[in-house]
Structure 1
């Protein structure tokens, strides 16, 4: 079972030794000193229920119809505010929970607490939390120290994809390198600060590129404040510019997913050269499609899935649906210059078109 779903060496666990031993112990002692495991589980459930109890009671909510667009009353505004606080708190707690589990598993591995019941950590995890894949557990262990440190400084827990880019080992054998914890933490904070200023998002891809910049630098200031200023200067170019179709002109096609392969741009460009006035809508739709092909790719979806960003994934799907709907509408409205618009499913070569009709 040791090789199942593994992508990290058994001896490559960051967070199991050295300076992190005391950190792991301190974070877990409070739980371990409890009277029993059941008490800890009950306490966790109680904390969740305290959040639930802070919500307004459903019987106190005035049901409003779908067509009602009246302003919210003072009581409704108060209920809305309290509910949003609870939702955000529950979301934050849920995102941070995996890193708390990671620190707990780091402690279990460090002390080999499973040594008289299980042959290895994977078997122990499989029995303790059956719904957790060993591969995930290892990533949580590896990233827990950095993730919890970032959470403490920003108030928001990072997702797995973000942390993995800053904790994974690069290279093989003797050339394998790992970012020092302090540098990785400062990098994330710098990226988060710049993202907050620019309204952008810190994605795993941004952190991957940021790491390449940092590792390619000859020197990094030793002073903490100077280092933060330098890191922000380096990450800023990676977090500026519009997101979406408007940024297409600045985005080079870099993958082979068929979204922007060789010749595809020229093909679309040729289709765009339409001088017939009544086809302006189709012209614009094709331009939007060309932009979308540069910015919405398979890797874009994979990044959203890898980071567990469901909102971003559904946003991308909706963008594609909107584009296809607009393109269909534009083609339906674009008439033939000398013939009526063919019905859906009709071939342009049917007898409906005069033989001499040209575009």
Structure 2
């Protein structure tokens, strides 16, 4: 894009109005004519599907063996960048469409357009979008915050993300909620990740009870809280003394009988699994043997890897599930879960930014 940037596109998509003008009937008529004069639904769908035309030809993509870990060639890097740009655009279109639906449902609710065809707004919503009335109600409630976030940041948030930032809005105001999303997005990109509902919630819960009223000071507090929570720039030891008072490292060295993890996979933040280098490193780490003469710092890293392997085996999906199922102390469980995410993110960040040989 040139002068027509992402914000312009979002403005065109969402519009700027807060509600109907005094001549509500004329406004509805104007909207109806605009829709009728605009592209047909099939054309709009075709426009999205045409995004695939921007993908590299599948015939031109080189097939790579499962065991190949070589660096990507210049051509592969170009194809990868081209493909990921299309994926990002398609995802953004899908996220934006959700909030267009929310605006439509808000109008149907205000006009009670369902009154002759359905017994309730809920049944109308279910019939129109194939989702529950609760989902539709949540979309309508969070749409104003989502649209402002999109306008100010140039990124369309997902419903699960706005569900979290709406809590920030309730406690600190809309500006803080939008800033929270933008800062978590930017800090996550430094880690090579994307903002998630979990990361947003972790930062939200870490914010102080009150934020400064001055926008710049408010933003600075949110930035520092986000960096600390997500582990960017953290220089404290990965395992602090007070983190292990309730369980010694040695006590975690057994192989849990409930560990159903597939070799090469490690428990994810959401209780699922993720494949990749983390699982491979864990397996390889178990087989590391000390040489007769090893530099002191390398010994420290090897000891840390053994400790992480032991912790990884002990902290299984089943452990998280049973801890979450305990009704007596849900707040303590969530506090511990978030602390684990923070610590592991800090270690990962240190390893990612460590010197490569």
Q: 1:62 to 1:50 in 2, by over 3 A?
A: closer
Instruction: Name the residue aligned to 1:190.
Output: 183
**2:62, 2:194 → 1: CA distance?**
36
Q: 1:84 to 1:297 in 2, by over 3 A?
A: closer
Asked if residue 238 in structure 1 is aligned to residue 229 in structure 2, the reply is yes
- Does the 8 Å contact 1:198/1:240 carry over to 2? no
Q: 1:57 to 1:195 in 2, by over 3 A?
A: closer
**1:57, 1:234 → 2: CA distance?**
44
Asked if residue 48 in structure 1 is aligned to residue 38 in structure 2, the reply is no
Q: Any unmatched runs of 5+ in structure 1?
A: 1-18, 171-176, 254-259, 273-281, 290-295, 303-312, 331-359
Instruction: Name the residue aligned to 2:250.
Output: 269
In the TM superposition, residue 45 of structure 1 has moved relative to its aligned partner by 0.7
Correspondence list, 1:48-87, <5 A: 48-58=48-58, 61=60, 64=63, 66=65, 72=73, 79-87=79-87
In the TM superposition, residue 162 of structure 1 has moved relative to its aligned partner by 2.3
After superposition, what is the alpha-carbon deviation per residue over 1:115-145, rounded to whole angstroms, capped at 9, x for unaligned? 2222322111111122x23332222222222
**2:57, 2:109 → 1: CA distance?**
43
**2:223, 2:167 → 1: CA distance?**
22
- Does the 8 Å contact 2:146/2:162 carry over to 1? yes
- Does the 8 Å contact 1:55/1:86 carry over to 2? yes
Q: 1:116 to 1:146 in 2, by over 3 A?
A: same
Based on CA coordinates, which of the two structures has the bigger radius of gyration? 1
Correspondence list, 1:260-299, <5 A: 265-266=247-248, 268-270=249-251
Instruction: Name the residue aligned to 2:121.
Output: 121
Instruction: Name the residue aligned to 1:106.
Output: 106
**2:162, 2:282 → 1: CA distance?**
35
After superposition, what is the alpha-carbon deviation per residue over 1:94-134, rounded to whole angstroms, capped at 9, x for unaligned? 2333222222222322332222222322111111122x233
After superposition, what is the alpha-carbon deviation per residue over 1:300-331, rounded to whole angstroms, capped at 9, x for unaligned? 315xxxxxxxxxx542x66886588569879x
In the TM superposition, residue 216 of structure 1 has moved relative to its aligned partner by 1.3
- Does the 8 Å contact 1:31/1:40 carry over to 2? no
Q: 1:113 to 1:179 in 2, by over 3 A?
A: farther
After superposition, what is the alpha-carbon deviation per residue over 1:202-242, rounded to whole angstroms, capped at 9, x for unaligned? 44344335445657116422xx4443234323433223258
Q: 1:231 to 1:146 in 2, by over 3 A?
A: same
Instruction: Name the residue aligned to 1:208.
Output: 201
Asked if residue 163 in structure 1 is aligned to residue 162 in structure 2, the reply is yes
Instruction: Name the residue aligned to 2:93.
Output: 93
**2:242, 2:197 → 1: CA distance?**
19
Q: From 210, 217, 231, give the equivalent of 1:217.
A: 210
**1:155, 1:165 → 2: CA distance?**
19
Q: 1:161 to 1:49 in 2, by over 3 A?
A: closer
Number of residue equivalences:
258
RMSD of equivalent CA atoms: 4.8
- Does the 8 Å contact 1:51/1:86 carry over to 2? yes
Q: TM-score, normalised by structure 1?
A: 0.54
